[in-house]
Amino acid sequence: MVIYCVEVKVLPGKEAEFEKATLENRLETRKESGNLRFDVLQQNDDPTSFFLYEAYSNSDSVLAHKQTAHYLKWRDLVAPWMAEPRKGTSHKVCAPLEVSKW
């Protein structure tokens, strides 16, 4: 299992557009066989900061996701709204290891 976390900082005034586009991307991503979870979080004290928490069955699933039409559409759509480059990091799961516990 691989967790991919993305820190996003959008331009002020683009929060609602980013959220809408990201939720649409999330819906399509959840249909991917290798995606186990996709959470979209917005920071309480800074609404321009978002955190995407994505769980995949393996690293190949992450790579496959980044080649899907919905991801490429999302990436290109949100690019002009970025206040700074997105920062993505990959993590291993220590606990819980059982997917049913998520």
Q: Is 67 domain-assigned?
A: yes
Per residue of the chain (102 residues), what is the pLDDT tens digit? 899 999 999 999 999 999 999 999 999 999 999 999 999 999 999 999 999 999 999 999 999 999 999 999 999 999 999 999 999 999 988 888 877 666
Could you tell me the pTM of the whole model? 0.92
Contact 2, 38 (CB under 8 A): no
89: domain CATH number? 3.30.70.100
Range of the domain at 42: 2-93
**Per-residue pLDDT at 101:** 64
The structural domain count of the chain equals 1
pLDDT of residue 21: 99
Residue 100 resides in a domain: no
On whether residue 76 sits in a domain, the answer given is yes
User: Does 102 map to a domain?
Assistant: no
CA atoms within 13 A on the CB side of 37: 17
Domain assignment present for residue 101? The answer is no
Evaluate whether residue 7 is within a structural domain: yes
